[in-house]
């Protein structure tokens, strides 16, 4: 683990300790984004409803890391945080939803509008379907009501 990622690892440990949460933290070198995998028996409180607490925790950790690296006149390295594989499972589920709906669009030749999603979830859908040459995706709506539309070409 590089020194920069050791700093982030220590930061995550410190925040969890202040929250009185016992956890094991591993750095997983994903292809596009290094991820700190946190394993704990107290995942529910860290993840929250629909992952809202996890998003907030990551936002706080990112801001704290930005401050540390700014003081060192360095750019904050990219990283993500996952609790008990919550995001990994969510990503797989979203990819399956995208592919299933893409097949429906192909078969019925009609667009499908998915339920509202946050930007992270919408990006997973767009990326999963980007290799399909006979369909296209776009985001429509505003704020919390923003949805992905899957359309035949």
Same domain, yes or no: 106 and 37: no
Same domain, yes or no: 7 and 80: yes
Mean model confidence pLDDT for the chain = 94
Same domain, yes or no: 72 and 117: no
Q: Is the pLDDT of residue 7 over 90?
A: yes
pLDDT reported for residue 103? 97
CA–CA distance, 34 with 148 (Å, rounded to integer): 27
Q: Which of 84, 107, 141 is the last residue of a domain?
A: 84
What lies within 8 Å, CB to CB, of 71 at 6+ separation is none
Same domain, yes or no: 18 and 80: yes
Same domain, yes or no: 109 and 135: yes
pLDDT reported for residue 1? 74
Q: Is the pLDDT of residue 22 over 90?
A: yes
Same domain, yes or no: 79 and 52: yes
Q: What CATH code is carried by the domain that includes residue 76? A: 3.30.300.20
pLDDT 10s digits, 95-110: 999 999 999 999 999 9
pLDDT 10s digits, 35-54: 999 999 999 999 999 899 99
What lies within 8 Å, CB to CB, of 82 at 6+ separation is 35, 36, 37, 38, 54, 88
Same domain, yes or no: 12 and 49: yes
């Amino acid at each position: 683990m590089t020194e920069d990622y050791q700093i982030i690892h220590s930061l995550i440990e410190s925040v969890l300790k202040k929250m009185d949460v016992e956890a094991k933290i591993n750095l997983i070198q994903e292809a596009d984004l290094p991820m700190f995998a946190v394993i704990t028996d107290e995942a529910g409180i860290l993840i929250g409803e629909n992952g809202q607490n996890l998003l907030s925790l990551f936002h706080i950790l990112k801001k704290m890391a930005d401050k540390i690296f700014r003081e060192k006149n360095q750019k904050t390295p990219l990283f993500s945080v996952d609790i008990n594989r919550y995001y990994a499972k969510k990503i797989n589920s979203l990819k399956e939803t995208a592919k299933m709906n893409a097949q429906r669009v192909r078969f019925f030749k009609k667009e499908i509008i998915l339920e509202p999603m946050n930007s992270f979830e919408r990006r997973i859908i767009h990326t999963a379907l980007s290799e399909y040459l006979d369909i296209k995706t776009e985001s429509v709506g505003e704020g919390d009501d923003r949805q992905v539309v899957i359309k035949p070409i």
